[in-house]
Structure 1
Amino acid sequence: MAVTIRQISEACGVSRGTVDRVLNNRGKVRPETEAMVRREAARLGYRKNLAGQALAARKKNYTIGVLMLSEGVEFFDEVLAGIRQAESEIRDYGIHIEVVTMKGYHIEEQAERMREMSSRIHLLILHTVNDPRIAREIDCLEESGIPVITLNTDVEGCRRLCHVGCDFIKSGRTACGLLGLISPGGAQIGVATGTVLSLGHNQRISGFAQLCREHFSGFEIKDVIETLDDDETAYVQTKAMLSRHPELTAVYVVASGASGVCRAIKEAGRNLTVIANDRTPSVSRLTENGQIAAVIGQEPFQQGYKAVILAFQYLVGESRPEQEVWYMKNEILIRENLS
């Protein structure tokens, strides 16, 4: 027989209203009372009536908003595919997904889009940059009853519901470890990041630099350029970096722009070791022809899929996700295991 809220309230010696607020996150309860209620609910084996909640969701016609800085960035094609797959699975519950994409890192424009979408959504899945203005917008949405799930890269100092993405520190350390296997004697390294505005991109560089200091004294980062996740920008910036640093022996491509980086290296007639992130069709081709030595993937399809499923479960189940951060796997890919 299903455990009821009344049974939990009697076991705890509190009102049924208090138990309801705890189990459904509907109001403030003293921390010690909340802990007691959750402990008793777990002990008694309480399970929410998800079938009834799903029926209620159909009547509410929830809309999940998705706002991404993804236009022109090949990597996000797979993220969007994951979002669409999840959407197909929850459509029968009356839940609609509105996807808005943008090109570039225009903070005020994205903040305006967030405000504009707030009038017609119940939850926002957000791919953005790490900026206090965006953090304030996330907090404003939270205060108005619209929770936010950050996708792919996180935002510091905000009250987002949870984060789904990559362990970027580990990704950067993995890239450095791979370069260490390829060039154990040392390397003069150029770094091609996407943008210094991205927390994830900065964390990758930080993880890479950490391992350099810890284990590879012969590694030296000579220069850092921004590709803005654009191949043409990557080409121009890499060409200039190669001119400034003829001593370079390796390039670490932190985000998108690998095609532009490799084109500049090839035109310069240089034989550099390139470590890249994110398996995309263009990166796969460059790995297959030997221009990229190794790639670290981050399961983009699963990121998009998981973010939507967590949003669905929150709206239908009316409870916070079990984890604050959901990391996908970092996968090492070389020519021999791409297919």
Structure 2
Amino acid sequence: MGVTLKQIADLAGVHKSTVDKVIHNRPGVSDARRQQIKKLLEEYGYESNPLAKALNYQKKKMTVAVVMPTVDAMPTLKKGMELVQQDFNSFNVDIAYYNVPFEASEQVACLKQLPKEDIAGAVVLPIEVPEVVQAMQRLKEQKIPVVAVNSNLQTEPYLCYVGQDMVQAGRVAAHMMGLLLPNGGQLGIVSSNNMRAVKQREHSFRDSIGELCPQVTICASMDIVEKPEHAYQQTIEWLEQHPEMQALMITCGCVPDICRAVRDAGRNLTILCYERYEEITHLVKDGEIACTISGDLREQGRLAMRLLFEKLIYEREPDKTVYYTTNEILLKENI
């Protein structure tokens, strides 16, 4: 059983209320005494009583926000977050989901609104533009902790990041493409600009092709708008321009729409992509997609929300700033 607040108070020779002031960083304690108590708290591994905290939160409701653009990853990430809400159902904590259009201006407007709605913390899938970075930085300055999920930023205006190791994901994809095309071939890459994670995958894949499968040549690449009909139409037009293409590497979302375009164009391409949404699972089983690499989106959502809850409820800082989930290779035989 862990040490109690009273035991810490007895060791320090003070009243329990003094220890409570130190724990919650309130005034009324001398610097010397504050340092003494902090040292004892750390030495004995004191943690606030979860039941007592639960009773406090039952009196005052706390709301955390989830801010995500409308992308394919959203439903699976949400399932993981809901698991955490069930684990903490004794606490009076609500999750408010803000599903904004895939536009940077929409995400910025949403982030700016959070302090006005008395949001205690947030999980954000950030679009990488300076305005989003600045909005997240303002939340940090207002003591509203943010956990980035699925895609990170070059700067770190957040508590920590939870997502796929994109450099490893790109190398794994390059290795798999070499196995899928042992005799070589002409390869096209479909990517998008707004998410840093997508570009990290693409850059790593490109950097690894020459080393891991030199027999494969990249003949074309295209950035799409991650909206279903846009992705479909862009792919149709792009395929017409590149009849030499034999394989396709998709580093972004809208995979079912891209595959529909390939099908409607009458092309038979070796396709490799990421994640395991229900639609992707069907396409792998049907043989339209040769291989997909999953970054375990449900675990990303679960861990991101867990770290945020622990920060808000237990005042527990994450052990590190980056948490990577597993890259899993999925084929028709094991998906």
1:54 and 2:51 matched = no
Q: Deviations for 1:2-38, whole angstroms, at most 9, x for unmatched residues?
A: 44789889999xxx999989977889xxxxxxx9999
| AA at the equivalent of 1:203 | Q
Q: Deviations for 1:190-221, whole angstroms, at most 9, x for unmatched residues?
A: 1111x212110001101211211322222222
1:184 and 2:182 matched = yes
CA change 1:189–1:26 in 2 (3 A) is: farther
Q: What's the offset of the Cα at 1:183?
A: 0.9
Is the 8 Å Cα contact of residues 175 and 208 (structure 1) preserved in structure 2? yes
Q: Deviations for 1:128-177, whole angstroms, at most 9, x for unmatched residues?
A: 21111111111111111111111111122132011111112211211111
Q: Deviations for 1:297-335, whole angstroms, at most 9, x for unmatched residues?
A: 121122222222211111111121122112221111111
Any idea what SS the aligned residue of 1:270 has? coil
Q: Structure 2: 5+ residue runs without aligned partners?
A: 28-34
CA change 1:2–1:88 in 2 (3 A) is: closer
Q: Which residue number in structure 2 is paired with residue 233 of structure 1?
A: 230
Which of 173, 176, 182 is the aligned partner of 1:175? 173
Q: Which residue number in structure 2 is paired with residue 133 of structure 1?
A: 131
Matched residues in 2 for 1:7 and 1:281: separation? 53
Is the 8 Å Cα contact of residues 234 and 261 (structure 1) preserved in structure 2? yes
RMSD: 3.1
Q: Which residue number in structure 2 is paired with residue 275 of structure 1?
A: 272
Q: Structure 1: 5+ residue runs without aligned partners?
A: 28-34
Q: What's the offset of the Cα at 1:125?
A: 0.9
Q: Deviations for 1:69-123, whole angstroms, at most 9, x for unmatched residues?
A: 02xx34321111222232233232001111110122x212211111112222010
Structure 1 length-normalised TM: 0.85
Is the 8 Å Cα contact of residues 24 and 319 (structure 1) preserved in structure 2? no
Any idea what SS the aligned residue of 1:98 has? strand
1:199 and 2:170 matched = no
Is the 8 Å Cα contact of residues 174 and 212 (structure 2) preserved in structure 1? no
Q: What's the offset of the Cα at 1:41?
A: 5.8
| AA at the equivalent of 2:66 | V
CA change 1:153–1:17 in 2 (3 A) is: farther
CA change 1:38–1:227 in 2 (3 A) is: farther
1:224 and 2:221 matched = yes
Which of 153, 156, 161 is the aligned partner of 2:154? 156
Q: Which residue number in structure 2 is paired with residue 250 of structure 1?
A: 247
Q: What's the offset of the Cα at 1:179?
A: 0.8
Matched residues in 2 for 1:173 and 1:18: separation? 54
CA change 1:74–1:108 in 2 (3 A) is: closer
CA change 1:39–1:331 in 2 (3 A) is: farther
Count of matched residue positions in the alignment of Structure 1 and Structure 2: 325
Which of 306, 311, 314 is the aligned partner of 1:314? 311
Matched residues in 2 for 1:332 and 1:307: separation? 23
